Amino acid sequence: MKIGAHVSAAGGVQNAPLNAHKLGCECYQFFSRSPQGGDALKLSQEIIKKFKENNKKYNFKDFYIHAPYYINLASSKKNIYYGSIAVLREELERGSQLGAKYLMTHLGSAKDLGDQKAIQQTTKGISEVLKNYIGSCGFLIETSAGSGQIIGNTFEEIAEILLKLKNKIGICYDTAHAFESGYDIRDKKSVKNTLNEFDKIIDLDKLKLIHINDSKTDLGSRVDRHEHIGKGKIGLNGFNALINNKKLQNINLILETPADNLRINDIKILKDLR
């Protein structure tokens, strides 16, 4: 188990390893393009070379790309739907060029189409993203908090998508999102129960990464608000139980707690618990 955080790649992706090193990360996550929109900065051979050199310098082997926030594979607007497919495919290819282990994405909202149609369209969209793809960067979908009818807030919904895609993709489990969707992890017993439920419905082999965040809002609130480790509604007991559960000992952890001067302390807390 390696512990890291989402870091800035401002000024170019080659800066992400340096920023991760400064925080004391053992692995890290970054945006390879602006999360708000616009064209991606071209990955020149020089940028790729510098990025790889910096990873080697700071001994990073596991790093991940987060897709932009505007992805919506369930949109009724064709430009948004097809644009999301194009960006995700491009990010997968960029991930392969850089040597990223996985690209993870939020799926979008079902509010345009309703739940069932949204899942069908989302599944079709992911199939298009992966069509004839032969790169090394894997594809992960992230568990959601369920606010605004965001797809992927129940294990059953995720399992349905995986089944339709014949299990070609993996899962990034966000502790805050899942907690806000109603999956308790506040103590050893609840962690065990939630992992057993995940294994029964989805299969723990599909779990490839954990976004480790405390929650500002209550269990089942369906409101997505991250908090620093131990300062939210999940609490230190929950994270201690999670980190020391034998089923998760080979899963890396990425912090997405508020990006202030307390994040370095979050990393220290997690390392101490481990």
pLDDT per position as a tens digit, 151-187: 888 999 999 999 999 868 999 999 999 999 999 999 9
Sign of CA dihedral 52, 55, 57, 59: negative
Nearest residue to 171 via CA among 225, 135, 210, 145: 210
State residue 99's pLDDT score: 97
- Measure the CA angle with vertex 135, ends 162 and 212; round to 5°: 55
Tell me the pLDDT band of 36, cut-offs 50, 70 and 90.
confident
With vertex at residue 33, the alpha carbon angle to CA 161 and CA 78, rounded to the nearest 5 degrees, is 50
**What is the pLDDT confidence band of residue 39, given thresholds at 50, 70 and 90?**
confident
**Cα gap 131→247, rounded to integer Å:** 32
Q: What is the DSSP letter of 131?
A: T
The first and second tokens of residue 258, run together, are 């508020």
Work out the average pLDDT over 63-84.
Answer: 95
Q: What is the rounded CA–CA span in Å between residue 15 and residue 247?
A: 33
User: What residue type is 239 in one-letter code?
Assistant: F
> Average pLDDT of 211-234?
95
Domain that holds residue 169: 3-273
CA-closest candidate to residue 32, choices 101, 95, 115, 105: 95
Residues linked to residue 173 through DSSP beta bridges, in sequence order: 210
pLDDT at 146: 76
Distance in angstroms (rounded) separating the CA atoms of residues 219 and 233:
8
Mean pLDDT of 189-210: 97
Handedness of CA 264, 243, 191, 145 (dihedral sign): positive
What is the reported pLDDT for 259?
Answer: 84
d(CA 130, CA 118): 18
The tally of domains found in the chain comes to 1
Residues of 25-46 as b/e, b for ≥16 C-beta within 10 angstroms? bbbbbbbbbeeeeeeeeebeee
Amino acid at the residue 50: K
What is the number of H-type helices and E-type strands within the chain? 9, 10
In the chain, where do the E strands start and end?
Answer: 3-6, 27-30, 63-66, 102-105, 138-142, 170-174, 207-211, 214-215, 226-227, 252-255
Give the pLDDT confidence score for residue 110 in this predicted structure.
84
Reported as a single tens digit per residue, the pLDDT across 82-112 is: 999 999 999 999 999 999 999 999 998 888 8
> Which amino acid does the sequence have at 96?
S
- The pLDDT value recorded for residue 30 is 97
Q: Is pLDDT of 147 > 80? A: no
What does the pLDDT average to over 237-244?
Answer: 97
For residues 64 and 103, the answer to whether their CB atoms sit within 8 Å is yes
Identify the band that residue 38 occupies on the pLDDT scale cut at 50, 70 and 90. confident
Q: Which residues pair with 66 in a beta bridge?
A: 104
End-to-end CA distance of the chain: 9
Instruction: Using alpha carbons, select from 22, 41, 94 the residue that is nearest to residue 64.
Output: 94
Looking at per-residue pLDDT, the higher value among 170 and 261 belongs to: 170
CATH of the domain at 248: 3.20.20.150
